[in-house]
Amino acid sequence: MKLHRYIDHDSQMTPIDFEVTKSKVKVTDIGISKGTQHYTVISTCRVLSAMMEQYFRFPESRHELKIIAYEFPE
């Protein structure tokens, strides 16, 4: 839906358009997400990133990390 408003500047009518939508979108440093899933995506990425870093830094813990990763909800 577009709304038109006219502002008078020295007897000249200038149209200003406003675009109104119903969608709610959040923009973050990792991308765009809609609704409440935003926080789930952020926390999931952080957890997986930490697990990947630990996987490469501590080879002795790889077996435990694989078990955790396979039990991670999709």
Total domains present in the chain: 1
Would you state the pLDDT for residue 40? 65
- 48 domain-assigned: yes
- 1 domain-assigned: no
What are the residues facing 34 on neighbouring strands? 25
- 65 domain-assigned: yes
Residue-level length of the chain = 74
CB 68 within 8 A of CB 51: yes
Would you state the pLDDT for residue 61? 76
- 50 domain-assigned: yes
Going residue by residue through the chain (74 aa), what tens digit of pLDDT does each one get?
Answer: 444 455 444 554 444 444 455 555 555 555 544 555 556 666 777 777 777 777 778 877 778 777 776 776 55
- 12 domain-assigned: no
* Domain span at 39: 24-74
Reading the block at residue 62, the tokens are: 């790889």
CB 17 within 8 A of CB 4: yes
Would you state the pLDDT for residue 62? 76
- 15 domain-assigned: no
